[in-house]
Chain A
Amino acid sequence: MSESGRRRADRGACLALLTVTAVLTSMPSLCRAQGAAQGQSFVLIARGRYLTALADCAACHDDPVSHRPFAGGRPIQTPFGRLVAPNITPDRTSGIGGWSDAQFDAAVRFGRLPNGARLYPAMPYLYYSRLSRSDTQAIHAYLATVTPVYHAIVSDQLPFPFKIRAIMHVWDALFFHPQPWQQRADRSAAWNRGAWIVEGPGHCEACHTPKGWLAEDEHGRAFQGYATQGWFAPDISPDVQRGLGRWSLEDIEQFLQRGHNRLAAASGPMGEEVADSSSQMRPDDLLAIATYLKASAAAGNAAAAQRQGAPLADTDKRMRAGAAIYHDLCSACHRLDGHGTPYLFPDLVADNAVDARDPTSLLRVVLIGTRSVATDAEPTAPGMPGFRWQLSDAEVASVLTYVRNSWGHAASPVSADQARRARSQLRLAAASE
């Protein structure tokens, strides 16, 4: 059964289908034989199912209310307004049941709908363009086996002028130059596989790479983190201070597979990614991703040492206040020395998220709390309480400033004004749900 199937409540008959494919995935030789016997390509469907997980289609296309797989309905906030993820079940009227392989391929890899209209880049076709035609054929074959759901969606809820899809022609012309995926002969097989997953189906850059004013990736700052969906997707470059520099290959693999490692825990959108996608990846693919991320020199950002300033002095009023708040409220879990408990409470000394140049996620978890993701390997899913009813803006700022300037960290202070804005944005987000 799929991870998301386990994670969510009742899915009725579709469970049976998922179970069949899961069993077949785990028994490739058997399913080949049966597939041939029944005249269907279970090999193709199983491959499609794995690619669907790699591409994390469920992240956007699962129904957020009834949890029906791929039935759509999830609102996606973009810098230009709101889109709603469409229904991609094989329902013939409201889903994609009537699409040919070629139409499906055009949408996934080239951002073009059957009627010729352009998709918005919230659909990550930029990255999916690194898939092959046979990949999209496999995904399409798999999606054809999920339960068709009638669920009519009006995808496009953008305000004028962005609701004019024609402008996407211009955007594509500026930013979208699909080319066949090229292996690098000077790199290992693992690196190449990792690069393909990260830059292709995994579409990691969609969240982790800073965006320009038209929401295009700033390639010069690849993987250096980006604020999206009320969170800051952290820097996953090899940067020692802010990025994954202090993470081992195993740390990265465990984080992706379990949602937890000795340093950190996944929650929010990354928690969903772990549940729906990376926890289902094969170990060799996780190692490949780790290999690529650790090596992706993504140049330019060896500047960590220069950026590294001095931490605020202990005598700073914010540091004194923050130390008291940390001692009284945070140390019960994160310990007085900041190290937490491996796989349970994040290590604030070593977790790179503490140094994020944008404190959006830090403010969020301090204000409203969060629950980390549960996986088969790490089912505990510990939660962080929220403090917004208890701490003033100044106190929230102080405790974060303290954490960002203790134990070897020297990140920018967080201001009470930032805390105030985060508080009101969270209130607005809750009201619009």
Chain B
Amino acid sequence: MARTLPARDVVIVGLGWTGSILANELTDAGLSVTAIERGPWRDAPTEFPPNAAQDELRYRIRHELFLQPAQTTFTFRNKMSQTALPIRTWGAFMPPNGVGGGGVHWNAETWRFLPSDFVLRTHLTQRYGARFLPPDMTIQDWGVSYEELEPYYDRFEYLCGTSGTAGNLRGQIQPGGNPFEGPRSRPYPTPAQEQPFSHTLFGEAARNLGYKPFPQPSGNLSQAYTNPLGVRMGPCTYCGFCEWFGCANYSKASPQTTILPVLVRKANFSARDQCEVTRINTDASGQRATGVSFVDSSGAEWEQPAQLVILAAYTIFNVQLLMLSGIGRRYDPVSNSGVIGRNFTHQTISDVLSFFDPAKFIFNPFIASGAIGMCIDEFNGDNFDHGPYGFVGGGYMGQVQTNGRPIETTPVPPGTPSWGAQWKQAVRENYLSALQPGTGVHGSMYSYRDVYLDLDPTYKDRFGRPLVRITMDFHDNEIKQNHFLTDKFAEIFVAMGARQVEKQYRKAPYSITDYQTTHLCGGAIMGTDPHTSALNRYLQSWDVPNLFVMGASAFPQNAGYNPTGTLAALAYWSADAIRNRYLKNPGPLVHV
């Protein structure tokens, strides 16, 4: 029997980036806010200090900072005709867990999407005609424009102190930046990070090939920074233990290093860690959320009543809570109706390994940061004419190698045996002179009718709730895109002087064992039509107006960039709508 806690104005499910942003904005508006976080509190001086954080086995291999599948997982299949099976150990992506969420262990690659990405269907249809798109591709416009989001991208970058070189200042193209980016209202808050050898060499080779390389926008700071909340960050030390790891020296932007120090001091804020929300409660009409139910660390059930519910968990958990709470009509791919679970996407990633003459190249791959790197954007989004190629979408590509951690990053040339004296010799010879960019080709994944989320009929979590079932495979459009991009990428390594390159194309079927970023998107998407979207343009549920759903689950499809900049901008955009519109007149912000 659940007991009931004193009511709050707002309850937030999940205290990662979006939960922290919403909590800070809504407490500033005078509301009392409680956040409920499934995982534990974590912070640099105690949990990942600079004398223990650099442990590849503990964090990279054994996944210390992530959700444990025993707590909950998903089932997976490629095709609707298959039986989905549980993901027993993480592979393709790594769901976060704990205060700070993915913001603790991300690389901090802080991108903006292209203006055309937000009006994707309209844009592509206008340029290429509707028949250029595959018939089962379900891409949509977002309902919000780049111009509308720009001030909120700016807020997030200035919160984080993002290091970068502007490419487009108020419409003026800037030397050294990304000339394809949308206009930005002011420069990055801090200059780009200094680039190590291989990243610099990539930039030079790309420039010689006629591209316009630029430093990847980075939340690993080039210099000390104080953000508008008064929170201080230090300079990145290029330790090479960034993605999968917490930052030990306050130099990677995270909720802990940018918002939480201010947030916890507010009397109208509190958070509860190690408590898992199990459902969003609604009144008899089903059109008003009354709060959430959660299970505490002892297994006891509680209710937290609130006037406003903010769902700010990881993509799939947002979708799962909506499904288990009976909010919104569930998507059915057969009848092509319903919205919850629709337009689920990931990212189309590939890599190129390259091997250089050890006598001439010492790359010191261990000197790196999570968002280090030189990139080109010529082949992203619709920055090039897709007409001749027969696919849509694209991605940035770059030497974005984040580490030289030896369990993960000891590449050997193709043809080398996987063990024995030859293998050992190849590892020794190539470690300092081989490159393994990781997510070097960072391509978009567009949405399809048969890629979606629903509830599994067989497998349950520790509370007996059905697991979310992922049905996902690559479509020809993405495979073609990746082939094209990977070839272009490899050309640059050849131009750098590699004596051998190995192209690792992305291939179907989509495999749940192969890490491909944690950029899962969609399933509770935003849009302009309640029949094809779960949320309106302010991330407000069409069905339950006092419920707002943050995060990449709102993306109608995924672009060729890392999602955090965009989901954070959307969080600020939504918070602004709540503060300045919803609170004055609670109810639907968009009428259809």
A384 to B233, CA, bound (A): 14
Known: A329-B50, A341-B234. A385 touches B45 (CB 8 A): yes
Pairwise interchain contact B232-A344, C-beta atoms closer than 8 A = yes
The CB with the most chain B CB atoms within 10 A, among A329, A344, A390, is that of A344
The reply on B43 being an interface residue by CB < 8 A is yes
Interface residues of B in 37-51 (CB under 8 A from A): 43-46, 49-51
Chain A residues whose CB sits within 8 angstroms of the CB of B229 once the complex forms: 379
Q: Determine how close the nearest CB of chain B comes to the CB of A261; give it in whole angstroms.
A: 12
Report A-chain residues with C-beta under 8 Å of the C-beta of B239: 332
Task: Give the contacting residue for B50; candidates A15, A377, A379, A385; CB below 8 A.
Answer: A385
In residues 157-200 of chain A, which contact B (Cβ within 8 Å)?
none
List, in ascending order, chain A residues with CB within 8 A of B230's CB.
376-380
Q: Indicate if the CB atoms of B261 and A384 lie closer than 8 Å.
A: no
Question: Is the CB–CB distance between A1 and B51 below 8 Å?
Answer: no
Q: Which residues of B contact A245 (CB under 8 A)?
A: none
User: B227 CB to closest chain A CB, in angstroms?
Assistant: 10
**Which residue from chain A places its CB closest to the CB of B233 in the assembled complex?**
A344
Given A6-B265, A333-B50, A369 and B248 contact (CB-CB distance below 8 Å): no
Q: A6-B267, A343-B232, A390-B51 are in contact. Are A379 and B261 (CB under 8 A)?
A: yes
- Is B262 close to A, CB under 8 A? yes
Chain A residues, Cβ within 8 Å of B231: 379-380
Q: Which residues of B contact A380 (CB under 8 A)?
A: 230-232, 250, 261
Chain B proximity of A54: nearest CB distance (Å): 22
Residues of A within 8 A of B237 (CB): 331-332
| Residues of chain A within 8 A of B44, CB atoms compared | 383, 385
B522-558 interface with A by 8 A CB criterion = none
Q: Which residues of B contact A246 (CB under 8 A)?
A: none
Q: How far is the CA of A345 from the CA of B51 in the complex (A)?
A: 16
Mark interface residues in A305-338 (1 if CB within 8 Å of B CB, else 0): 0000000000000000000000001011100000
Nearest-neighbour CB distance to chain B for A16, whole angstroms, equals 11
B235 interface hit (Cβ, 8 Å): yes
Contact A383 B43 (CB under 8 A): yes
B68 at the interface (CB under 8 A from A): no
Q: Is B224 an interface residue (CB 8 A)?
A: yes
B27: Cβ under 8 A from any A Cβ: no
Q: Which residue from B52, B232, B234 sits with its C-beta under 8 Å from A378? A: B232
Which residue of A has the minimal Cβ distance to B231?
A380
In the assembly, what is the distance between CA of A384 and CA of B44, in Å?
Answer: 9
CB of A64 within 8 Å of the partner chain: no
- Docked Cα-Cα span, A390 to B54, in Å, equals 14
**Minimal beta-carbon separation of A365 from chain B (angstroms):** 11
Complex Cα distance, B236 from A332, in Å, reads: 9
For A342, the chain B residues whose CB sits under 8 A away are 224
Pairwise interchain contact B232-A369, C-beta atoms closer than 8 A:
no
Decide if A382 touches B51 in the complex (CB within 8 Å).
no
Distance in Å from the Cβ of A101 to the closest Cβ of chain B? Answer: 32
Contact of A383 among B45, B51, B235, B266 (CB under 8 A): B45
B214-269 interface (Cβ within 8 A of A): 224, 226, 229-235, 237, 239, 248-250, 261-262, 265-267
Contacts of B265 in A (CB 8 A): 6-7, 374, 376, 379
Residue A287 lies at the interface, judged by CB distance under 8 Å to chain B: no
Given contacts A344-B224, A382-B45, A332 and B249 within 8 Å (CB-CB): yes
Which B residues are CB-close (under 8 A) to A390?
Answer: 51-52
Question: CB-CB contacts of B263-296 with A at 8 A, as 1s and 0s?
Answer: 0011100100000000000000000000000000
A345 to B239 alpha-carbon distance, docked (Å): 18
Min CB gap A334→B, angstroms: 10
Complex: chain A residue closest to B50, CB-CB: A332
CB within 8 A of B267: which of A5, A344, A379, A382? A5
Which residues between 181 and 225 of chain A lie within 8 Å of chain B, taking CB atoms?
Answer: none
Q: Are the CB atoms of A382 and B232 closer together than 8 Å? A: yes
Write the chain B residue with the least CB distance to A344.
Answer: B232
Contacts of A344 in B (CB 8 A): 224, 232-234, 250
Residues of A within 8 A of B267 (CB): 1, 5-6, 15
A369 to B261, CA, bound (A): 18
B262 — which chain A residues lie within 8 A by C-beta?
379
Report the Cα distance A82→B250, complex, angstroms: 39
Closest to A390 in B: B51
A420 within 8 A of B: no
Binding site for A on B (CB under 8 A): 43-46, 49-52, 224, 226, 229-235, 237, 239, 248-250, 261-262, 265-267, 270
19 further contact pairs, Cβ within 8 A, besides A333-B234, A385-B50: A6-B265, A7-B265, A329-B50, A332-B50, A333-B250, A341-B235, A342-B224, A343-B232, A344-B233, A345-B234, A369-B49, A371-B45, A376-B230, A377-B230, A378-B232, A380-B231, A380-B232, A385-B45, A387-B51
CB-based closest 10 A-B pairs: A383-B45, A385-B49, A332-B50, A379-B261, A380-B232, A344-B232, A341-B234, A332-B249, A341-B224, A379-B262
